[in-house]
Amino acid sequence: MLRAAFIMAALDAGVPLRDVQIAARHADPRTTTIYDRRRENFDRPAAYVVVAFVAGG
């Protein structure tokens, strides 16, 4: 969950997909975009609180 939170927070912050891919050590950018599409599934208050906490906000 922490890994997903990092990826979602980075993408929400506007970090380019390629940079997030490298940081997450994904060999294929399609793996990173899976997390991007899953952000819709985390559209719940608790998930946003955790992402904000992890992102330092």
Torsion of CA 33, 39, 40, 45, to 10 degrees: 180
Q: pTM to 2 decimals?
A: 0.65
- Cα 21 versus chain centre, distance: 10
Which pLDDT does position 18 carry in this prediction?
95
pLDDT tens for the chain, 57 residues long, are: 788 888 988 988 899 999 999 999 999 999 998 887 666 666 566 777 777 787 776
Q: Which residues contact 51 (CB under 8 A, 6 or more apart)?
A: 5, 8, 9, 12, 42
Q: State the CB neighbour count (10 A cutoff) for residue 21.
A: 20
Give the start-to-end residue ranges of the domains of the chain: 2-54
- Calpha distance 2→18 (Å, rounded): 19
Which pLDDT does position 9 carry in this prediction?
86
Which pLDDT does position 23 carry in this prediction?
96
